[in-house]
């Protein structure tokens, strides 16, 4: 995990929460083999540049996911043949945006960080929210993970 911003303090508690959330999503998807996710904590300016470069949207967003492969809603151990942990991909979280959204939605920064992390890991695993049914499925999965972690609104 790398912290490439200085506007919002990334605490040890936040780092542990991000790792716990990644682990909880993997567990919820019955992924029991070792996996790795690279997490970059950035600011609105940096995420805006990434958003523009990869999605052609010239505005900051809260989180971006960069999967290492294309998975059909989940992965299996058979997808990986070597003894190394599977590399799921990269996540970029704007901590600045997360703080703004936590104030807008009236919950803690920790809850927002956990939500964005869960959301992004699901994207790495092949989930999306383009269609309404996909959006509902993804939202339910995110909320189940957060609830099981004891992270509530």
Is the predicted pLDDT of residue 77 greater than 60, yes or no?
Answer: no
Give me the pLDDT at residue 70, please: 73
Give me the pLDDT at residue 32, please: 83
Task: Count Cβ atoms within 10 A of the Cβ of residue 47 and give its class: 0-12 exposed, 13-18 middle, 19 or more buried.
Answer: buried
The structural domain count of the chain equals 1
Span between the terminal Cα atoms of the chain, in Å:
25
Please tell me the distance from the alpha carbon of residue 95 to that of residue 91, in angstroms, as a whole number: 12
Report CA 31 to chain centroid distance, whole Å: 16
Region of 56 please: left (phi>0), alpha (psi -120 to 50) or beta: left
pLDDT above 70 as % of the chain: 92
Report CA 84 to chain centroid distance, whole Å: 22
In whole angstroms, how large is the CA radius of gyration of the chain? 15
Is the predicted pLDDT of residue 76 greater than 60, yes or no?
Answer: no
Give me the pLDDT at residue 65, please: 97
Give me the pLDDT at residue 152, please: 82
- List pLDDT tens digits, range 26-74: 999 988 888 999 999 999 999 999 999 999 999 999 999 999 977 666 6
For position 62, which CATH number holds?
3.40.390.30
- Average pLDDT score over the chain: 92
Structural domain harbouring 140: 2-149
């Amino acid at each position: 995990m790398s912290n490439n911003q200085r506007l919002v303090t990334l605490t040890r508690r936040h780092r542990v929460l991000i790792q716990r959330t990644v682990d909880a999503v993997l567990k919820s998807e019955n992924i029991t083999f070792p996996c790795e996710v690279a997490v970059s904590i950035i600011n609105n300016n940096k995420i805006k540049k990434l958003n523009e470069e990869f999605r052609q949207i010239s505005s900051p967003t809260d989180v971006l996911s960069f999967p290492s492969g294309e998975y059909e809603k989940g992965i299996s151990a058979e997808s990986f043949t070597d003894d190394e942990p599977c590399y799921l991909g990269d996540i970029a979280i704007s901590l600045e945006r997360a703080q703004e959204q936590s104030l807008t939605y009236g919950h803690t920064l920790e809850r927002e960080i956990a939500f964005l992390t869960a959301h992004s890991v699901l994207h790495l695993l092949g989930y999306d929210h383009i269609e309404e049914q996909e959006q509902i499925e993804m939202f339910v999965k995110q909320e189940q993970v957060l609830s099981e972690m004891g992270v509530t609104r």
